[in-house]
Homo-oligomer: A and B are copies of this chain.
């Protein structure tokens, strides 16, 4: 008797939990993994979605903005993304002192491509909304590019972006 009651209860629970979950649309080619805003550049950072949003937060919180332009199928972007996401110091400073945005499409603001639209490309923007074209990496032909071996130079650039904020505002 107890077994029968238990069985009925189990069936009820099963039916209820099925009823509770609405049937969702599954794409023809199978279930997809939800896209993240970080796109692999640091899951623990709070990423802005758009340039407008990033500028808003930069002004509001008085923090410099780092914009990263990249592409999913670019090997240079891929290796830099890995080094960037795994660099604890870079991630910590960005988390505490910067607004971050990563974009796979160019914006309409030409100031974000001072020497062309290559990827990966790292641009700093001051809370006053000025693109810091003076903060560059070590390549004269792609001034805003950084490679995995350049993490120290990136940290120096980040320090420059932070310094100006304090002295000029």
- In chain B, what residue has the closest Cβ to A22? B86
Any B CB within 8 A of the CB of A35: yes
Pick from B23, B42, B50, B88: contact of A50, CB below 8 A: B50
Summarize A's interface: helix, strand, loop or mixed. loop
- 1/0 contact trace for A98-137 toward B, CB 8 Å? 0000011111100000000000000000000000000000
Q: Chain A: how many interface residues by the 8 Å CB criterion?
A: 36
- In chain B, what residue has the closest Cβ to A38? B34
Pick from B31, B36, B88: contact of A24, CB below 8 A: B88
Pick from B25, B44, B86: contact of A32, CB below 8 A: B44
With a cutoff of 8 Å between Cβ atoms, the chain B residues found around residue A86 in the complex are 22, 24
How far, in whole Å, are A76 and B94 apart by their CA atoms in the complex?
A: 33
The answer to whether A34 touches B37, judged by C-beta atoms less than 8 angstroms apart, is yes
With a cutoff of 8 Å between Cβ atoms, the chain B residues found around residue A35 in the complex are 36-38, 46-47
Q: Which residues of A contact B (CB under 8 A)?
A: 22-27, 31-32, 34-38, 42-44, 46-47, 49-53, 56, 85-86, 88, 91-92, 95, 103-108
